[in-house]
Structure 1
Amino acid sequence: MRFHADLHIHSKYSRACSKDSDLTHLTRWARRKGVTVMGTGDFTHPAWFAHLRESLVPAEPGLFRLREDLDREIARTLPPGVASAQVRFMLSVEVSTVYRRGGRTRKIHHLVYMPGFDAAEAFNRALAPAGDLGSDGRPVLGLDSRELLEATLGSGDGAYLVPAHVWTPWFGVFGSKSGFDTVEECYGDLTGHIFALETGLSSDPAMNWRVSGLDRYRMVSYSDAHSPPRVGRETTVFDVDLDYFAILRALRTGTGYEGTVEFFPEEGRYHLDGHRKCGVRLDPEETRKLGGICPVCGRRLTVGVLSRVEDLADREEGVRPDGAAGFRSLVPLPEIVGEVLGVGPASKKVLREMDELTAALGPELAILEEVPVDDIAAYSPPLAEAVDRLRRGEVIREAGYDGEYGVIRLLGPGEPGRTDPATAPALF
């Protein structure tokens, strides 16, 4: 069975996350997007853990589904084409570890997965002495990364850990601010239990392929969604049975792992170097010439993902390791619809159009990847043109830096279909 998985999300108990980030809203949006397997996020938080226990029931091995009564309520609010889609949940959490190693403070984020509630409960007990699990859905713990991995492995067969958004400056295992140069430096003698790395929004597999030491790892991509509409903006594609342990085997062996759906990395918040407060955005060569110093205020620049990849790269661009799975770069459909209509992607007008589109053509990821362009053109020729350009990789890129999202556009100024917000018609 081929399906999209989004295994890095957050609940309403994580800081800076939507109050709508509950199982009902997450399931609804997973169906609209075309995501089959979701992470629960935040299972270390006592209130969210209790909600998960109350609302989820066992499905396939290691996976869960919503209780029938909750599921029926969601189905009533969705178009028939997406209302019946399967959505399964895997117990997941992002953990932030803060500790001293090698004379530096390290701040590393990790994704942890458990095959059942008993294992998750054991993991929570092991972590409790290291920090207040109830203070944040993404707990901040005074643990070494190796200790966290050891606690994960000790929680039960099938528990595993994936380093999160590995290049992010502040919290990635390779981050410029507090990371390491190799996975081995971070996890020590337990490194052999790491078999996958999350690319994050600001990098893609091709960037990671430049570092030969990463060849043995599967590259995964997930949304890191802080609100339900963000679900599925990045996914990992599997062709295996719907089964926690089948997904785990695919990540370990590569069999059944089909690659990823990515942001264009320029859209990520840390792709280039810069200083947001001064409006300074720089490519790696410019940063090196300036010695890493902001030319406006004289403070240190935030060195982004592209620079960090180039620091560690031992290959030229364009080299693809033998056996590496492919990937596809997409732009979330609400952003495309918003560009066509000349309004913001979260506007009510875009949400109305999204309802119409998914009712007519199916879930968002299918529209972006599979639905024939002619079928899209029957509803909106400008949207069909934009999707066609997206599939060809013909995009206009304005890269993100120092926490500022980049912008990916598909239509140039004045092109047909790029409308004034005040006069923009509906797509239909």
Structure 2
Amino acid sequence: MRFHADLHIHSKYSRACSKDSDLAHLTRWARHKGVTLMGTGDFTHPSWFGLLREGLVPAEPGLFRLRDDLDREVARTLPSSVASAPVRFMLTVEVSTVYRRGGRTRKLHHLINVPGFEEAEALNRELGKIADLGSDGRPTLGLDSRDLLEITLNSGEGSYLVPAHVWTPWFGVFGSKSGFDTVEECYGDLSEHIFALETGLSSDPEMNRRVSALDGYRLVSYSDAHSPPRIGRETTVLDTDLDYFAVLRALRTGEGYEGTVEFFPEEGRYHLDGHRKCGVRLEPEETRRLGGICPVCGRPLTVGVLSRVEDLADRPAGVRPAGDTSVSEGLVPLPEIVGEILDVGPTSKKVVGEVDRLVAALGPELRILQETPVGDLESRLPRLGEAIGRLRRGEVISDPGFDGEYGVIRLFAPGEQEAPTLFDTSALKNGLKDRHVG
């Protein structure tokens, strides 16, 4: 069974997350987007753990589904095109560790997955000895990353840890501010138990492949959704049984791992270097020329993902490791595309209504973006077929993100939509920026 998995999300109990991030809304939006396997997020939080116990029932081995009465209520809010799509949950949590190692403060985020409530309870008991788990859905622990991995492995057979958004400056294992240069340096004698890495919104597998030391890891992508509409902005594509242990085998061995759906990395918040408050955004070579110092305020720049990849890269872009047949596909969320066409914001009522009509007619958003014939799209909304055709060909215009500021991906050049010949894309192609600069 081929399906999309999104195993990095947050509940309403995480700071700065939507109050709608509950099981019903997560299920509804998973169907709307076309995501089959969802993470629960935040299972260490006592209140959310109780709601998970109450609202989920066992499904396939290691997976859960929404309770029948709750599921019927969700189905009533959706069009028939997506109302009955299967959605399964895996027990997941993101954990933050803050500690001193090698004379530096390390601040790292990790994704933990467990196959059942018994294993989750065992993990919660141990982590509860270290921190107040009720303070935040993403707990912060004064614990070495290696020791968190040990506690995870000891919680039960099948429990595993994936380093989160590995290149993010502040909280990634390879981050410029508080990370390491290798997985082994971070996780020590237990590093052999790390077999997958989350690329994060500001990088993609193509960038990661420039570092040959990462060849042995499955590169996964998830949304890190802080609200239900963000579900599925990045996913990992699997072709396995819908089963926790089948997913685990795919990530360990690569068999059944198909690839990822990606943000264009320029849209991520930390793709380039800079200082947001100073209005300074820099390419890696400019940062090196300035010695990593902001030319406006004279303080150290926030060195982004592209620079950090280049620091550790030992081969050029475009090299594929032997035997790697996975595919990564860059997508732009459908509301952003419709918003660009209608010249309004992606969360406006006009866009929401139009996207809902498209989903009712054509199926979930990911199917629309990846599979629906462009002619069918054009008949539903003028310019949509052209926009998604360009997206599928990678013909995008990027305004890269930096220092916590999201980038912008556009499909039409300024004024192009008013041009007499909409389908002449030569102007767009001539104005394209290279996706991976430097």
Q: Which amino acid aligns with 2:234?
A: E
Distance 1:15 1:238 in 2: 30
Deviation (angstroms), 1:381? 2.8
Q: Which residue of 1 aligns with 2:113?
A: 113
Q: Which residue of 1 aligns with 2:403?
A: 402
Q: Which residue of 1 aligns with 2:29?
A: 29
Q: Which residue of 1 aligns with 2:372?
A: 371
TM-score normalized by the length of structure 1: 0.97
Which range moves more in the overlay, 126-135 or 116-125? 126-135
The unaligned stretches of length 5 or more in structure 2 are 420-438
* Paired residue secondary structure (1:403): coil
Q: Which residue of 1 aligns with 2:432?
A: none
1:333 pairs with 2:334: yes
Deviation per residue, 1:214-253 (Å, 9 max, x gap):
0000000000000000000000000000000000000000
Distance 1:410 1:417 in 2: 14
Distance 1:247 1:410 in 2: 35
Distance 1:323 1:122 in 2: 38
Distance 2:415 2:74 in 1: 40
Which range moves more in the overlay, 408-417 or 288-297? 408-417
Deviation (angstroms), 1:414? 1.4
* Paired residue secondary structure (2:380): coil
Q: Which residue of 1 aligns with 2:52?
A: 52
Check 1:338–1:417 CA distance in 2 against 1; reply closer, same or farther (3 A cut). Answer: farther
Distance 1:45 1:219 in 2: 27
Q: Which residue of 1 aligns with 2:151?
A: 151
Deviation (angstroms), 1:147? 0.4
Q: Which amino acid aligns with 2:398?
A: R
Contact kept in structure 2, 1:197 and 1:219, CA below 8 Å: yes
Q: Which residue of 2 aligns with 1:387?
A: 388
Contact kept in structure 2, 1:221 and 1:235, CA below 8 Å: yes
Q: Which residue of 2 aligns with 1:290?
A: 290
Distance 2:65 2:220 in 1: 23
* Paired residue secondary structure (1:15): coil
Deviation per residue, 1:370-411 (Å, 9 max, x gap):
011111111113111100000000000010000000000001
Distance 2:251 2:15 in 1: 30
Deviation per residue, 1:13-58 (Å, 9 max, x gap):
0001001110111110000000000000000000000000000000
Deviation (angstroms), 1:85? 0.3
* Paired residue secondary structure (2:82): helix
Distance 1:377 1:280 in 2: 39
Q: Which residue of 1 aligns with 2:281?
A: 281
Q: Which residue of 1 aligns with 2:343?
A: 342
Q: Which residue of 2 aligns with 1:40?
A: 40
1:414 pairs with 2:409: no
Deviation (angstroms), 1:104? 0.4
Which range moves more in the overlay, 321-330 or 141-150? 321-330
Distance 1:320 1:406 in 2: 27
Contact kept in structure 2, 1:262 and 1:329, CA below 8 Å: yes
Deviation (angstroms), 1:318? 1.3
Deviation per residue, 1:127-173 (Å, 9 max, x gap):
11111100000000011000000000000000000000000000000
TM-score normalized by the length of structure 2: 0.95
Distance 2:363 2:369 in 1: 10
Q: Which amino acid aligns with 2:170?
A: W
Distance 1:304 1:207 in 2: 13
Q: Which residue of 2 aligns with 1:9?
A: 9
Contact kept in structure 2, 1:340 and 1:417, CA below 8 Å: no
* Paired residue secondary structure (2:5): strand
Aligned residue runs from structure 1 range 184-263, under 5 A: 184-263=184-263
Distance 1:375 1:2 in 2: 24
Distance 2:255 2:418 in 1: 43
1:125 pairs with 2:125: yes
Q: Which amino acid aligns with 1:47?
A: S
Distance 2:59 2:351 in 1: 34
* Paired residue secondary structure (2:96): strand
* Paired residue secondary structure (1:259): strand
Distance 1:290 1:322 in 2: 37
Contact kept in structure 2, 1:280 and 1:294, CA below 8 Å: yes
Q: Which amino acid aligns with 1:64?
A: F
* Paired residue secondary structure (2:417): coil
Distance 1:28 1:260 in 2: 22
Moved >3 Å (runs of 4+): none
Q: Which amino acid aligns with 1:35?
A: V
Q: Which residue of 1 aligns with 2:436?
A: none
Contact kept in structure 2, 1:169 and 1:177, CA below 8 Å: yes
Percent of aligned pairs with the same amino acid: 80
Deviation (angstroms), 1:417? 6.7
